[in-house]
Amino acid sequence: MSDAFDLAVIGGGTAGLVAAQTAAHLKRRVLLISEGPLGGECTWNGCVPSKAFIEAASVHHNAANADRFGIRVAEVRVDFPAVMERVHHVIDQIARYEDEAHLAATGIVVRRGRAAFVDARTLQVGDDRFSAARVVVCTGSRPAIPAIDGLGDVPHLTNETVFELRVQPRRLLVLGAGAVGLELAQAFVRLGTDVDVIDVATSFLPREDPDIAALMREILESEGIRLHLAAQPLRVARTGSDIELTVRDAGGERVLCGDQLLVAAGRTANVDGLGLDTVGVRVEEQGIAVDSHLRTSVSGIFAAGDVTGMLPFTHVAAYQGRLAAHNALERQQAASYRVIPWVIFTEPEIAHVGLTEPEARRAHGDAVRVATLPFTAVDRALITQRPRGLIKVITSGRPLLGHAGGGAILGAHIAGPGAGELIHEFVIGMQVRAFTGRLAQAVHAYPSMSVGVQQAVARLFDSGRATAGELREDLLSSGVSRGSTPPDPTPP
């Protein structure tokens, strides 16, 4: 058995890397065990390649529509193999800083291979055993494959294989209308692929605010995506070069055809082969069960990231990995998920933090106030020819103070250009529990897209709703003048 470590981390994805780096920063002896490539899902199959692919599709879309700016482009042609080569080049650029040499330089011992618990303090990796006072499991997740008749016999894509394509699909079937399915569906449509998206859900983007979901459905369908909701996949078959997917919806059974099938139907925690049952770690349907301190059911064993099945975001995995390492080694601090931003990287982007309007009204009733602002009221959006979108702010009164200063931010929802960046004004506001009006009072540079945040929040106040007689009609109904006076949010 090798020398004992203060902390062993199983898994080299975001949660595992952050946990190991945190332990190294605390000057502890740390072992990082990784079966797959360092960087994990985000670097190799998720965030990095998907956003690089989406960016290429956006460039093509903008070039094809350049006449909006008076630019005449004779021909716009997709070189699909070159697109995918660039995707992998971006992966390589980012992955180079997540290799063993960089980790070793910080004092982290890296061992490649599959780890399994022998007991709560001992791990087997190949022919070697390692002991550690504490262990953090960060083995991530993999694509969930639904039980559909024939699917196992028909070659299909997931986010782990789609970026290996070198021939662009003519017709793509996408199972799943979540973030991964919609992001890739739109990117393929913008590159010229015919796309059908199928989902068993009866509503579109059910985790988003209804106003945002309705707007985004209209936008995505206008670009050519065919959405099939409340559609139950029954069977999959291959006929020649075609993949035939039979679904049942309100109209009965029908067959959808494509030459490629992408399965984007959620995630499954990677818990197999770890020997968790050997040591008594409780595993539930969504993944390893943890408490608010990321402790499992076995003392000294923690878990972080996608393997917990909680919030499958890279930023949450990093947060949990850091917290789990600290809790394992020197302090006990509960995780807080009160202020977690969600972003879907379609175009326009979709971002939210906090409660939707229905959730807020169920929790706070008549105390809820809502302000909305379309991006047609944001000058920068008109300048850049990206006026499709909406900012929605949901607030409630504070104890004793009521709505003084604009009250408290309960949630914010944005569908629009740069939504994933703009949402962080609300994230910071909620994190520090600022009065809502502080965002309206803060000076915003004109003409930036973030002025829209100021305008939207200002609509909660009488001064923000005041408009001049010559303003555009859409501003009269839903915006504020760039010259209107921001309110003073200081409570009496």
Quote the CA–CA distance of 444 and 158 in Å, as a whole number: 42
Q: What percent of the chain has pLDDT over 70?
A: 93
CATH code at 342-478: 3.30.390.30
Whole-model pTM above 0.85? yes
Best CA proximity match to 300, nearest among 107, 129, 119: 119
**Domain made up of 5-38+99-143+268-329: CATH architecture:** 3-Layer(bba) Sandwich (3.50)
What are residue 435's DSSP bridge partners?
A: 408
- Cβ(257)–Cβ(237) below 8 Å: no
Q: Does the pLDDT at position 320 exceed 60?
A: yes
Asked, colleague to colleague, whether 151-265 and 342-478 share their fold, the answer is no
The dihedrals phi and psi of 242, each to the nearest 5 degrees, come to -95, 145
Tokens standing for residue 212: 């945002």
Average pLDDT over residues 461-483: 45
Cα distances from 359 to residues 205, 312, 395, in angstroms, run 15, 21, 12
Q: Does the pLDDT at position 475 exceed 70?
A: no
pLDDT tens-place string over residues 75-105:
999 999 999 999 999 999 999 888 899 999 9
Residue 196 DSSP SS3: strand
Cα distances from 183 to residues 49, 50, 351, in angstroms, run 12, 8, 13
Burial class (CB in 10 A: 0-12, 13-18, 19+), 328: buried
Residue 121 DSSP SS3: coil
> Residue 402 has what DSSP assignment?
B
Extents of the domains making up the chain: 5-38+99-143+268-329, 151-265, 342-478
pLDDT tens-place string over residues 367-403:
999 999 999 999 999 999 999 999 999 999 887 777 8
Q: Does the pLDDT at position 439 exceed 90?
A: yes
- What one-letter code names the amino acid at 487? P
pLDDT tens-place string over residues 351-370:
999 999 999 999 999 999 99
Q: Does the pLDDT at position 473 exceed 50?
A: no
Residue-wise DSSP of 318-379: HHHHHHHHHHHHT-------SS--EEE-SSSEEEEEE--HHHHHHHHGGGEEEEEEEGGG-H
- Cβ(262)–Cβ(165) below 8 Å: no
Question: What CATH class has 151-265?
Answer: alpha beta
> Residue 109 has what DSSP assignment?
E
- For residues 426-459, b (16+ Cβ closer than 10 Å) or e, as one string? bbebbeeebbbbbbbbbebeeeebbbbbbbbbbb
- Cβ(386)–Cβ(452) below 8 Å: no
